[in-house]
A and B are shown apart, each in its own frame.
Chain A
Amino acid sequence: MPAHDEEASLRATLDEVRRTPAGPDYTIDALVVDDGSRDGTAEVARQAGVPVLRHAVNLGVGGALQSGFRYAVERGYDVGVQLDADGQHDPAYLAALLAPVLGHACDISIGSRFVARSGYRAPLARRFGMVLFSGVVRLALGQRITDTTSGFRAYNRAVMKVCQFDFPRDFPDAPLLIALSRRGFRMREVAVEMRERQAGQSFYTFGKSLYYPYKNLLASLMAWLQRPA
């Protein structure tokens, strides 16, 4: 669970995760990656008894995930799930998200708001971006991924092994999906409902909203051009 200045909502999210029942063939362990928070994020996690990796400076979601993958790979976990600390993602969907990965139907499963009609309405600019990058991914992969920005995903061990060293730095979405697909990993979308964030600041700010499409288009193109290592 990547977290940056999320002390207000982290506690509730962790409680929710802890209340989530394990499945017949898996147990759930939580990990918080505190990505250079200036508030009590790490303290909240520690009080909840959840292990915390603390970045000395803010690296961005991508960096936080990378640390998480490294941790999971080193400790022999089979699947890693990425879940926002702000309460947007309901852990009740964990089982649905895990099922295709545990069943080896795919390597990455993506919790998507749009597979099923949900009540989610994004701001106009963001909707445009979502449609754009969904199109970019579709063009590159020949596969329809409706929710490329979803931060609710499950990755199997093979994916985590690759990603612990090689990962987009700031925001892991369309370019990452393209890069992973180029390496032969299969992905699948799972319908989830997302809630409004409970507290804290979104990663999207105005400055980023201008830079982000450019960066993402370029990175997508590069991911598509790069030969898989």
Chain B
Amino acid sequence: MHFLSRTQVITALGALALAVLVLDLVRRRRLSEEYSLLWLISTAVIAVLGFSTPVLSWITRTLGILGESSTVFAAGLAFLTAMLLYVSVRMSRLGFENHALTRELALLRFEIERLRARAGDRPGAPTGGGEGA
């Protein structure tokens, strides 16, 4: 068994640091479990590609890529593209939801103002029971 190369050590440490960071973000509820899965998968891919020379060279040969480093870059780019697309989709959905909520809020606010006016209660006045219906 040969000693680990410098690249392998750096990759291993990098992957480990990323994994710890992602898990810690989940623990502190700064990152939802849903997103963490994608990130952890990417961490695993980094670890495998960086660490295992046989796997990397096998993938490189199978895909007909010229150099091993290109495979690593291609994997990174693929991941980034997937992640960005996913984030765009989520953002669009959030936009739609926001949009719907804003409209709902406007209608509710209108109803409240109407009910208040009917109860003879001026907006901003201290809350007390409305006199009469």
* A positions within 8 Å CB-CB of B: 33, 51-57, 59, 63, 66-67, 70-71, 74, 169
Contacts and interface: CB of A to CB of B under 8 A. Distances in A.
Report the contact-size class of chain B (Cβ under 8 Å from the partner).
10 to 19
A185 to B, nearest CB: 22
A140 B107 CA distance: 35
B110 A54 contact: yes
Contacts, number: 37
Among A53, A70, A71, max chain B CB count under 10 A is at A53
Interface of B: 95-96, 99, 102-103, 105-107, 109-110, 114
5 contacts: A51-B110, A56-B102, A67-B106, A74-B107, A169-B95
B99 A52 contact: no
Nearest to A69: B103
Contact of B102 (A52, A55, A70, A74): A55
A52 B103 contact: no
Contacts of A51: 110, 114
A66 B110 contact: no
B102 A33 contact: no
Contact of A67 (B95, B107, B114): B107
